[in-house]
Structure 1
Amino acid sequence: MYVIATAGHVDHGKSTLVQRLTGMWPDRLAEEQRRGLTIDLGFAWTEIDGRELAFVDVPGHERFVGNMLAGVGPVPAVMFIVAATEGWMPQSQEHLAALDALGVRHALVVITKADLTDPQGAIEQAEAAFADTAMAHPPIGLSTDLDGVRAQLVRLVDRLPPPDTTADVRLWVDRSFTVRGAGTVVTGTLAAGTLRVGDELEHAGRRVTVRGLQSLGRQRSVVGPVARVAVNLRGIDRQEIGRGDTLRTPDAWLDTGEIDVALRSAEELHRELVLHIGSAAVPVHVRPLGTAARLRLARPLPLRVGDVGLLRDPGRHRIAAGVEVLDVRPAPLRRRGAARERAAELAEGRTRPPVCARVAELRSMGLPVAGQRVGAWMVDADWWAARRADAVAAARQWSADHDVAAGMPLETLRRAIGLPAAELVAPLLAGTDLVVADGRVRPPGLTLPPRVDEAVRAVEKSLAVAPFRAPDADTLADLRLGAPELAAAVRAGRLTRIADGIVLGPDACERAADILRALPEPFTVAEAKRALDTTRRVAVPLLEQLDARRLTRRRDDGTRTVGEGRLPHT
């Protein structure tokens, strides 16, 4: 199917020409039929030489330009109408400026009412007006020769580029209504992607289901681009979706409230204009950046880099500029000179892609997936290498400043070097000698600083004489062995922690189990204490450690037997 919009000044015969070509009168509202004036979008379709053509008929009155833009926004081609009796008129010019700003490149001009006067003047005016646009030198037909117009329409659609059937769906809604027995129905022009009955789509952060599809008056199970389509939705009320909203592939689009855009054919820009894109019309605050601008949208829209729209000044009935989206997540312009630097970048057509982003995020922004792949992420190779160097330096410095710590907390390192997610730390440090374990990053080896090593040696000397006589709190305080220093000695394999403030040698549990095996079973805590030549302060937590490792087994009466467990390797 091919979708073509009409354009042209009011009362130049757009709807009449569509009716003559299709046999269908596009005006659907009673008010339109009563006044003989197109107010809102109309739709009709036909088949010409085996090609299905759908027409979006738009109003030509200046009061309804917003409706006109909602109809032509997603459409790739236009049939532009000029009446021979009046020639080129103000709304002819505004419609042409809008089409040019929207990036429409394929047009057919049809001169109507050519049976009432010589059409040559209107032809020359149209040729001159189109000459300054990207649609220069369009074919021109006469409504008095419908067969010729049909042939030109066939040639027009045959020149259109093939749409992408596999693209993410973003259907700009132009109508929303309720059908009795079916529920909510929305219509729009499907420019890319494919819709299927049963599909789950996203609207305003919620999921809705495609209950049914209709195109050109027929029920369909699948509709591909480019096509006029009516979508029957399950899971949403008609009041919750309307013109300017979208149905889209879930989790594939980024809603953005601020964008940087290139300006085309810009006139004087006011701070407050209306952005027309797709079928949406959203007030925006404009911050000029040379040949570009930053737009702050009154409401977020699902936009991608490369999207085309226009800025309109509705108070003056003029098109202010065509826009092409350059960035959907621009950096803030807070520091001095940032706006000037950004303007220079955008003037060269340059935008800075994220140096680190998830692949799905790049896709949702409309950016190429290029760079160095790291799991689900894509990174700039130079940026990645610089982060690695920073990470190694930061981890080593942190370890030097915290010589008895288990290592730099992973989250602390992530923030210090500017990684967006903790999951990137381990792959970043792969190939370095840093160790990532238990949520921390540390240099290889577990050496103790000299002051702690000397104190631990004193403890080791004492334990060599009495293996189960743990140093008391005063002794540890004299040696300046606090909780961090003891934890470092345990990690280094020099001591074993039995309980808070109680440490023994690294093989204390196994040695204790060997001694306890010589006792008659079952044995009591007091008997174990005497056999180990220790105090109750040490014996009770030591036996609990042995129980946990299944080296001993505690009975209901509090006595114990020796178990069959083994010590894990440490």
Structure 2
Amino acid sequence: MQVIGTAGHVDHGKSSLINRLTGINPDRLKEEQDREMTIELGFAWITLPDGSEIGIVDVPGHRDFIENMLAGVGGIDAVLFVVAADEGVMPQTAEHLAIIDLLQIPAGVVALTKSDLIDDPDWFDLVEADLREILVGTVLEQAPIIRVSAKTGQGLDALVEALQEINKQHPHRPDLGRPRLPVDRVFTLPGFGTILTGTLVDGQLAVGDEVHILPSGVKGRIRGLQTHKQSEQKALPGGRTAVNVSGVSVDAIFRGDVLVHPGDYQVTKMIDVYCKILPDAETALKHNMEVKLFLGAAEVIARVRVLGAQECPPGGEAFLQLMLQKPLVALRGDRFILRRPSPPATIGGGQILDAHPARRHRRFNTERLENLAQLLMGTPEDIVLQTALKLGLSSPQNLVEHSGLEQEQAQQALNALIDQGVLIHFSEGRMVLPRVSFERVKQDIITRLQEYHQNYPLRAGMPRERLKSQMALNTRDFDGMLAHLSAAGILVESGADLWLSQHQINFTAEQKAQIEGLMKAFEAQPFTPPSYKYSREAVGEELLNSMLALGKLVRIGEDVLFLPQVVAEMRQAVISHIQNQGSITLAELRDQFDTSRKYAVAVLEYLDQTGVTVRRDDARVLTKHFAP
């Protein structure tokens, strides 16, 4: 289903033509009918000869209501460009054409209205020649020009045929599974409550759906849906849709708000864009200039940051960062218009390249300018890659959704990048990351671990949380990187510590002598060995921790250390004793190894903690895992 919008100078017969085509008067307000001039947006629809339907948005032509016009053309798929045969090209004809071209409306037809007023064929030829001249270089350059009359019906059949051809040739909006409906009208009806209308974009809505109104975040539920005054259980992308929302006051919704499913979209107050300035703009677009941004049905005051230049002259183009006065919903690829607030005039327009930039850019940052140029001119692979660079470690589905491309196109680009090795898989294919990002982060982790090993040569590894605190990664990305590097054999992760796989603790001759002396003391009294406190004083805390990390000693209590083979011997002795006798007491263990109560307690508590034994009254028995 296509939505077609009118455009053209005031009093050139847009509303009359729509009324004649559809039987619906789009001028719904009494003031509009009294003045015979469209002020607000009007809506109609027509069933074409092939049975398909198209919605029609009728917009004001008067320059005083140009901003109302912008709220209507943001969601259209094609344009019905109206020029009166008796007047020809007029000021708003040119301005509306400039807006249509900036928005890159992909299709259209030119209706030369009021043709019944002209008898001179040469006049028609002159008007059409003027039209062709202003259409050159615009999206309507190849559009058919059809002479019509709303009064007599002349040319209406040919116009309908042209509209039908547009509907066939241009694909309908894709269903990306994330509906958004920019609100262009909100009102109440007795017995129904709050109703909002707009053109549904990107997905489907169904009766009963929970919805949010952004940017406010107001929550509601869909009570009813209508398309062209027909009740529907489901609304499809691209259609003019009226939504009856329960749980939301009409005072809480405004034109420019967006109705969405919960969690599908985030609002933004900063966007990176590509902008073309109209050749006949009255002034250059200057850095820090205040403008009005028109996006979808929204109108927001913005502050301009010109990137890579001091200003953008009439006829020029530039990358901008727009700082928004209030948040709105935006996606990469959305088209927009910029206007000067006072005196009001259209300055230019373009497309959003990044709807959620990570930061306020330095204006002459060459790398960012190159990234924006790639987003503007790149292939689908370039766009997916740039999206991946921004997201970091991401699921393939999330990457496809954020690319702004159609799902099949984005998936093909994603697969190509993976095949080329530009993107690499993590977590058994559940996550992807650009190789350039992976290599940068990998080298950062390696460098930090190398520095740690150099500064603390006697430590086995760096505390995991210490490394994480130094990295500009969220928990998901950090965990994914460590898992990948560990699987690749680059680092070792054990408990709370990390170390490079090639890292070894190397002792000096003096340190080796200290270690040898302490080990002899442990070997001389294996079941009543030196305490932790004594050992620390003998060799130093750093050296003792190294011995523990290398497994030369085992700490089983606050002040109790044993040789690892002694712990193994006592553990097996306890297991054998319980298997033969049914249990073991503290006194029995103490007597069996001729040790003191301090060491016997530490051994039994260690075996409890490691799941070998469990205390029962004054004795220990084996856990189910070790029971015969």
The answer, yes or no, to whether TM exceeds 0.5 is: yes
Which of residues 306, 318, 334 is equivalent to 1:288?
306
1:29-428 alignment to 2 at 5 Å?
29-49=29-49, 50-118=51-119, 120=124, 121-141=126-146, 142-143=148-149, 144=152, 145=154, 146-204=156-214, 205=217, 208-266=220-278, 267=281, 268-270=284-286, 271-289=289-307, 290=309, 291-292=317-318, 293-330=320-357, 332=359, 338-339=364-365, 342-343=368-369, 346=372, 349=376, 352-355=386-389, 356-358=392-394, 359=396, 360-361=398-399, 363-366=401-404, 368=410, 369=414, 370=417, 371-375=423-427, 376-414=430-468, 416=470, 418-420=472-474, 421-424=477-480, 425-428=482-485
Q: Is the 8 A contact 1:448 1:489 kept in 2?
A: no
Query: Which letter maps to 1:24?
Result: I
Q: Partner of 1:480 in structure 2?
A: 539
Query: Which letter maps to 2:453?
Result: S
Q: Secondary structure at the match of 1:11?
A: coil
User: Residue deviations 1:200-250, cap 9 Å, x none?
Assistant: 444334654333211011111223232111122244332222211112354
When residues 60 and 493 of structure 1 are mapped into structure 2, their CA distance, relative to the original with a 3 A threshold, is same
When residues 432 and 521 of structure 1 are mapped into structure 2, their CA distance, relative to the original with a 3 A threshold, is closer
When residues 383 and 547 of structure 1 are mapped into structure 2, their CA distance, relative to the original with a 3 A threshold, is closer
Please, which moves more after superposition, 450-459 or 83-92?
450-459
Per-residue deviation at 1:186? 1.5
Distance, in Å, in 2 between the alignment partners of 1:383 and 1:116 is 67
Q: Is the 8 A contact 1:446 1:491 kept in 2?
A: no
Query: Which letter maps to 1:189?
Result: T
Per-residue deviation at 1:43? 1.0
Q: Partner of 1:501 in structure 2?
A: 559
Q: Secondary structure at the match of 1:115?
A: helix
Q: Secondary structure at the match of 1:479?
A: helix
Distance, in Å, in 2 between the alignment partners of 1:54 and 1:536 is 89
User: Residue deviations 1:283-311, cap 9 Å, x none?
Assistant: 11112235322212222333222221111
Per-residue deviation at 1:15? 1.3
Distance, in Å, in 2 between the alignment partners of 1:512 and 1:410 is 33
Distance, in Å, in 2 between the alignment partners of 1:454 and 1:260 is 64
Q: Partner of 2:383 in structure 1?
A: none
User: Residue deviations 1:304-344, cap 9 Å, x none?
Assistant: 22221111124233221121122234464666x73455446
Q: Secondary structure at the match of 1:10?
A: coil
Per-residue deviation at 1:272? 1.0
Please, which moves more after superposition, 271-280 or 158-167?
158-167
Distance, in Å, in 1 between the alignment partners of 2:245 and 2:596 is 76
Q: Is the 8 A contact 2:19 2:26 kept in 1?
A: yes
Q: Partner of 1:4 in structure 2?
A: 4
Q: Is the 8 A contact 1:26 1:42 kept in 2?
A: yes
Q: Secondary structure at the match of 1:24?
A: coil
Distance, in Å, in 2 between the alignment partners of 1:86 and 1:512 is 106
Query: Which letter maps to 1:213?
Result: L
Per-residue deviation at 1:361? 4.9
Distance, in Å, in 2 between the alignment partners of 1:403 and 1:460 is 21
Q: Is the 8 A contact 1:26 1:57 kept in 2?
A: yes
Per-residue deviation at 1:78? 1.3
Distance, in Å, in 1 between the alignment partners of 2:551 and 2:624 is 18
Distance, in Å, in 2 between the alignment partners of 1:188 and 1:278 is 10
Distance, in Å, in 2 between the alignment partners of 1:433 and 1:137 is 60
Per-residue deviation at 1:57? 1.0
When residues 303 and 464 of structure 1 are mapped into structure 2, their CA distance, relative to the original with a 3 A threshold, is same
Please, which moves more after superposition, 190-199 or 300-309?
190-199
Which structure carries more helix by proportion?
A: 2
Structure 1, unaligned stretches of length 5 or more? Answer: none
When residues 127 and 511 of structure 1 are mapped into structure 2, their CA distance, relative to the original with a 3 A threshold, is closer
User: Residue deviations 1:400-453, cap 9 Å, x none?
Assistant: 432343522334445656545222221134212421232432234996542665
Q: Secondary structure at the match of 1:467?
A: coil
When residues 91 and 276 of structure 1 are mapped into structure 2, their CA distance, relative to the original with a 3 A threshold, is same
Distance, in Å, in 2 between the alignment partners of 1:527 and 1:374 is 53
Q: Is the 8 A contact 1:529 1:539 kept in 2?
A: yes
Per-residue deviation at 1:42? 0.9
When residues 543 and 74 of structure 1 are mapped into structure 2, their CA distance, relative to the original with a 3 A threshold, is same
Distance, in Å, in 2 between the alignment partners of 1:554 and 1:339 is 67
Query: Which letter maps to 1:438?
Result: G
When residues 206 and 361 of structure 1 are mapped into structure 2, their CA distance, relative to the original with a 3 A threshold, is farther
Distance, in Å, in 1 between the alignment partners of 2:137 and 2:88 is 18
Query: Which letter maps to 1:44?
Result: A
Residues paired across the two proteins, number = 563
Are 2:489 and 1:432 aligned?
Answer: yes
Distance, in Å, in 2 between the alignment partners of 1:177 and 1:567 is 69
Please, which moves more after superposition, 15-24 or 412-421?
412-421
**With structure 1 as the length reference, what TM-score do the two structures score?**
0.87
Distance, in Å, in 1 between the alignment partners of 2:202 and 2:589 is 79
Query: Which letter maps to 2:402?
Result: S
Per-residue deviation at 1:170? 2.2
**With structure 2 as the length reference, what TM-score do the two structures score?**
0.80
Q: Partner of 2:312 in structure 1?
A: none
Q: Is the 8 A contact 2:532 2:558 kept in 1?
A: no
Q: Secondary structure at the match of 2:117?
A: coil
What is the percentage of aligned positions where both structures have the same residue?
34
Distance, in Å, in 2 between the alignment partners of 1:512 and 1:354 is 55
When residues 491 and 10 of structure 1 are mapped into structure 2, their CA distance, relative to the original with a 3 A threshold, is same
Structure 2, unaligned stretches of length 5 or more? Answer: 310-316, 379-385, 418-422
Q: Secondary structure at the match of 2:564?
A: coil
Q: Is the 8 A contact 1:495 1:503 kept in 2?
A: yes
Distance, in Å, in 2 between the alignment partners of 1:325 and 1:176 is 27
Distance, in Å, in 1 between the alignment partners of 2:347 and 2:31 is 31
Q: Is the 8 A contact 1:388 1:429 kept in 2?
A: no
Distance, in Å, in 1 between the alignment partners of 2:496 and 2:614 is 34
Could you say what the CA RMSD is over the residues aligned between the two structures, in angstroms?
3.4
Q: Is the 8 A contact 2:554 2:563 kept in 1?
A: yes
Query: Which letter maps to 2:426?
Result: V
Q: Is the 8 A contact 2:615 2:621 kept in 1?
A: no
Distance, in Å, in 1 between the alignment partners of 2:456 and 2:446 is 15
When residues 113 and 520 of structure 1 are mapped into structure 2, their CA distance, relative to the original with a 3 A threshold, is closer
Per-residue deviation at 1:457? 3.5
